[in-house]
Structures are given as structure tokens and as C-alpha cells.
Amino acid sequence: MIGWGQIVYGAALSAVFAAVLIAAAQGRSRAIVWTGALAAAVGPVAWNAILRATHGEQFFTDAPLIVFPVSWQDTGSGVFTLAAASLGYGLGPLGGQPTRTSIRYSLLAAVAALLVDVYLY
């Protein structure tokens, strides 16, 4: 079972990677970068806390793909990050912008969280 130290470590890596991706994509607003980074930390923490509380060990089984060994646990981190980022952007710095704009940044945050989960912890 994944421990709290590993959960926090993964969340921090996800936040940093999301911030880098989002800053590279737009680079103008710190609020946009910080919202995505926060969502990329909160999403994996929430999902892994649920798995930890429910003893969901079977979610940690990787797919038999050498290049992309994704698991349900990894996917959940990406999905929770997408939800957190969508809410964060929609209610925050991109609330007055077209949905296409907020979804683009939400997807960057979610991809960052997914890739960190798959390859870094």
C-alpha cells in the first residue's frame, strides 16, 4: 500500500511538472500556473487518500505495456487532477474565458499528474 510520504512526494512532483508545462504553454499569468499546479497536487492526494482508506491495493497493477505501464491508480490521479483543475480554472482565473481555454490548461495539469504517476513513483 502506498504511504503518506510517497503520496506527498508524488503530489509535489506533479505540481512542479504541471507548473512547468502550463508556464511553457502560456507563460503570462501566475494565477493560471498556480491553479494548475495546485490541482496537480490536490488531485493525486485526494485519489490516493481514497485508495489508502479503502485498502485498494488492486488499483496499483500496471498494464503490461513496456513503454506506458499505466495502472488504474495512475489513471485516477489524472482524472482527479482534471476535475480539480477544471473547477479551479472555471471558478478562478479563467472563469470569464471560453471553456476551451480552461480545458486546455486543465488537460495539461492532468497529463502532468498522470505522467508523474506512471514514471516517477
The predicted pLDDT at position 50 comes to: 96
Quick: pLDDT tens for 29-57. 999 999 999 999 999 999 999 999 999 98
Q: State the distance between the two ends of the chain, measured CA to CA, in whole angstroms.
A: 13
What does pTM read for this prediction?
A: 0.94
Neighbouring CB atoms inside 10 A of 62's CB total: 13
- So what's the pLDDT on residue 1? 77
Judge contact between 71 and 62, C-beta under 8 A: yes
| Phi-psi category of residue 81: left, alpha or beta, with phi > 0 → left and psi -120 to 50 → alpha | alpha
Q: How sure is the predictor about 28, in pLDDT bands with cuts at 50, 70 and 90?
A: confident
**What are the tens digits of pLDDT across the range 77-117?**
999 999 999 999 999 999 999 999 999 999 999 999 999 99
Cα angle value 27/33/38 (rounded, 5°): 170
Domain boundaries, the chain: 4-120
